[in-house]
Structure 1
Amino acid sequence: MLEKYLLPAPQQPERKVLDSIFAEMVLNKALRDFRKEQIGKEIDQSLRDRNKEEFLRLTEELKNIS
């Protein structure tokens, strides 16, 4: 009875590949979101410090990862 719910053997390696791709996408998004938050804090600091060069560098980096 349980056999009808299992994927056939040839599809299971494909499932592992899809799971791996999905996990990589989730991880990449988490890393990108974390970096965006870091850059936002650094931009705020550059504004407080009135550091125009750092502000421009960071906003350019933020644009490139968005």
Structure 2
Amino acid sequence: MDKMKVSYEAMLGLVAEMVLDEAVLKYRTDRLYQAIDKALASGDKDTFHRLTDELKTLNA
């Protein structure tokens, strides 16, 4: 029974880590899209290219 409890706790830990990773990825992606929109609105080509490259890397 203890072995089963340890396995269950390990699985819960992995699921929690996956949920956290997904939340951080979504937050970072949303922030990048906001910054890209701002760069587009201001006509800042260098920042736009840098941010879109970062977004591509993040989604790869």
How many Å separate the matches in 1 of 2:7 and 2:53?
Answer: 39
Alignment of 1:5-44 (within 5 A): 8-44=1-37
Structure 2: runs of 5 or more not aligned: none
One-letter amino acid of the counterpart of residue 34, structure 2:
K
Secondary structure of 1:10's counterpart equals helix
What TM-score do you get using the length of structure 1 for normalisation? 0.83
SS at match of 2:24: helix
**Where does residue 51 of structure 1 map in the other structure?**
44
* Regions of 4+ moved over 3 Å: none
- How far residue 34 of structure 1 moved from its aligned partner, in angstroms, is 0.7
Q: Percent identity?
A: 31
What TM-score, normalized to structure 2? 0.91
Q: Work out which of the two has the higher radius of gyration on C-alpha atoms and give 1 or 2.
A: 1
